Amino acid sequence: MRRPLAALRRDTPGDLAFKALLAACSVLVLLLALYPIYFVVIASVSDPAMVATGRVWIVPREISWFGYEQILADERIWNGYRNTLVYALAGTALNLLVTMPAAFTLSRREFRPRRVLMFFFAFTMFFSGGLIPMYLLLRDLNLLDNWLVFILPSAVNVFNLIIARSFFEHSLPEELHEAASIDGANYFQFFARIALPLSMPILSVIGLYYLVQHWNDFFTGLVFVRDYSLQPLQIVLRDILISNQAFSGGAGGAGGAGAGSYAQQYADQIKYGVIVVSTLPVIVLYPFLQRYFEKGVMIGAVKG
Amino acid sequence: MTSATAVRPAGGAAPRRAGSGPGRRLRRHVRRYWQLWAMVAPAIAFVAVFAYVPMYGLQLAFREFDFAAGITGGDWVGLKYFQQFFDSPQFWTLLRNTVVISTSTLVAGFVAPIALALMVNQVLGRRRKKFLQTATYLPHFISIVVIVGMLQVFLSPTSGLITRVVGLFGVDGANFFGSADAFVPVYVVSDVWQHAGWNSIIYLAALAGVDPQLYEAAKIDGAGRFSIIRHVDVPALVPTMIVLLVLNMGNVLNTGFEKIFLMQNPLNLGVSEVIATYVYKIGILSNQFSYATAIGLFNTLINFAFLVVANQIAKRVSNTSLW
């Protein structure tokens, strides 16, 4: 019945095959996930003709900054960038200001209405009024073509609210509140001086979620805003990447010239560059922030 | 009863106060816990205005839209707009497209993260595992516009990266964006590429919680690598699978509007027009507010029904449920 321990340790041929298969799969998955992103980066600085004829695979060839020069000169991109920065920062500030205190209240066990309120919030995750009633509401509130439309309707994300509430419930010992009450602290003081400083991890997590949500928001600009000067980066990106709108320098209009043409090659280089420029903040910050992102999923999973 | 009548002459307000027990309790509660209420009030206000007011506005689906009278002022027309939708030639096409796209996304998007998690979990060495995991969920944070933009350049029939890779296997000049047949596969595969890594985090957490003794016991019983995965790892994931499946069922008809809208072109419209994009076009672009609201409500109701049914089934079969 009992086998010698050594037999458990030594790799059988089956184990070796398994390890080889695993290594192959891991490398494949890694390549699939990262290579497209890497390719965009090298293609954005390579000579467009080299890219178009399939001679750029591993390193950039015949460095060309044409795409980036065009992008630097393009007013729309920088206007969109500025708008997105403003919306993302102001929006995230409001998000946190509204979400954190609410999550704190909903985490207090002595606060009896919290069950009813949780239902009030969670119900909106599964049922909504839909596009048209929302549009008409925003029209009545004069929020169409108004920069506040990027900030106010998305002030509370119920998922993030639940994550923050779980965090308060699980990592704020009840003794802390008792001790603080004995010292005469009321709820405001307890929240501001004790609960909030202790919840910096969760503040970062949902702050990042909100930030990414604002950064990638395309829908709001598409449906609720006509004024181009208010449009965020994602709308500008759509026009360049997908609608193939011409660049100020004349390059970029792909359609008529025919695919594979000279103009098309330069248009593609601009696209690669635009992808890099617009996604850069997320990619650069990513290695530093990823442990926070992950933490959010874990906390959320404790009690969904 | 008698004492209540005796109190009544005391003032006009008294009977109202005596008659509204819950209201008075609430007021007392608010006075006692006013600080907690103050902290949750802004969130309640935002959700009330931007989620519940639009729900109230759903009655527009049963009314004639009246520009002057507003959302609730138009004439009641009952189910006229629902009837119009069911009778319209687009109905079956829209329903079919929506169901095809969302169920294929649901199935692929459900299986891929599980497979990925089971694989990553086998990788030895904390740092290697971490690196693999981190790399696979990077795409999750790329915006949809950029994803579709990348698809367009990668799938370009003349110079696209993916077209060339496919060319290595003998398929020349494949035109993915120009063909209706390729729309669903491209949509689903790119969705899996973007989200499988992120969605696997939760499964990896569940796997990290498996009791190591189970593995030892399985090994001593002579189980091979694959049978350990099959009989120890997979059962450990079942509760998580069920919760996520139920949640996803609630989105059966909630296809990703943004991505589909961005991927649409005249060549694939026959398979890419879904309820959500149709509502946008009918409502926002051609101002048929009542009709569009009715279509949207139909969509929401189907989703909601799926969620409730899936949750009931999960509750009965496995004791796992959302509520």
Q: Looking at the domain assignment, is residue A50 inside a domain? A: no
Position B268 scores a pLDDT of 92
Are residues A286 and B154, on separate chains, in Cβ contact within 8 Å? no
Can you give the CATH number for the domain in which B118 is found?
1.10.3720.10
Position A219 scores a pLDDT of 94
Which residues in chain B are closer than 8 Å to A264, comparing Cβ atoms? 158-159
Could you give the C-alpha distances from B316 to B71, B107, B140, B250, in angstroms and in order? 41, 22, 34, 18
Position B49 scores a pLDDT of 97
Q: Looking at the domain assignment, is residue A293 inside a domain? A: yes
Which residue reads 């599964």 in tokens?
Answer: A126
Position A246 scores a pLDDT of 59
Pairs of CB atoms within 8 A across A/B: 256
Which residues in chain B are closer than 8 Å to A22, comparing Cβ atoms? 119, 122-123
Are residues B60 and A286, on separate chains, in Cβ contact within 8 Å? no
Out of A52-61, A124-133, B12-21, the most confident range is: A124-133
Q: Are residues B39 and B136 in the same domain?
A: no
Higher pLDDT, residue A10 or B317? B317
Are residues B35 and A186, on separate chains, in Cβ contact within 8 Å? yes
Q: What is the DSSP string of B175-219?
A: -STT-HHHHHHHHHHHHHHHHHHHHHHHHHHHHHTS-HHHHHHHH
In this structure, are residues A215 and A84 in contact, taking their beta carbons and an 8 Å threshold? yes
Q: Which member of A30, A127, A238 has the closest CB to residue B304?
A: A127
Averaged pLDDT score across all residues of chain A: 86
Q: Which member of A30, A126, A156 has the closest CB to residue B304?
A: A126
Q: Are residues B132 and B202 in the same domain?
A: yes
Question: What does pTM read for this prediction?
Answer: 0.87
Instruction: State how far residue B260 is from chain A, nearest Cα, in angstroms.
Output: 12
A98 touches chain B (CB under 8 A): yes
Position B14 scores a pLDDT of 42
ipTM (interface predicted TM): 0.88
pLDDT band at A133 (very low <50, low <70, confident <90, very high): very high
Position A301 scores a pLDDT of 61
Low-confidence ranges of chain B (pLDDT < 70): 1-20, 173, 250-255, 320-323
Higher pLDDT, residue A19 or B318? A19
Q: Are residues B189 and B59 in the same domain?
A: no
Q: Which amino acid is at A93?
A: A
Are residues A15 and B157, on separate chains, in Cβ contact within 8 Å? no
Which residue reads 């507003």 in tokens?
Answer: B70
Q: What sign has the CA pseudo-torsion A188, A193, A198, A200?
A: positive
- Tell me the residue range of the domain where A278 lies: 65-249+257-303
- Tell me the residue range of the domain where B49 lies: 2-69
Q: Looking at the domain assignment, is residue A5 inside a domain? A: no
In this structure, are residues A26 and B132 in contact, taking their beta carbons and an 8 Å threshold? yes
Question: How is residue A157 written in tokens?
Answer: 């994300």
Mean pLDDT of A38-59: 88
SS3 state of residue A54: coil
- What whole-number distance in Å separates Cα of residue B268 and Cα of residue B155? 15
Q: Are residues B227 and B293 in the same domain?
A: yes
Q: Are residues B245 and B164 in the same domain?
A: yes
Which residues in chain B are closer than 8 Å to A140, comparing Cβ atoms? 70-71
Are residues B142 and A102, on separate chains, in Cβ contact within 8 Å? no
Quick one: CA torsion of A181, A95, A159, A167, rounded to 10 degrees? -30
Which residues in chain B are closer than 8 Å to A104, comparing Cβ atoms? 39
Instruction: State how far residue A284 is from chain B, nearest Cα, in angstroms.
Output: 11
Mean pLDDT of A31-52: 91
- What whole-number distance in Å separates Cα of residue B177 and Cα of residue B190? 13
Q: Looking at the domain assignment, is residue B76 inside a domain? A: no
Of A13-27, A30-44, B308-322, the range with the lowest mean pLDDT is B308-322
Question: How is residue A76 written in tokens?
Answer: 């729309």
In this structure, are residues B45 and B51 in contact, taking their beta carbons and an 8 Å threshold? no
Q: Looking at the domain assignment, is residue A184 inside a domain? A: yes
Sequence-distant (≥ 6) Cβ neighbours of residue B196 within 8 angstroms: B109, B112, B113, B116, B136
Q: Looking at the domain assignment, is residue B75 inside a domain? A: no
A205 touches chain B (CB under 8 A): no
| Total structural domains within chain A | 1
Q: Is the pLDDT of residue A183 over 60?
A: yes
Q: Is the pLDDT of residue A168 over 50?
A: yes
A295 touches chain B (CB under 8 A): no
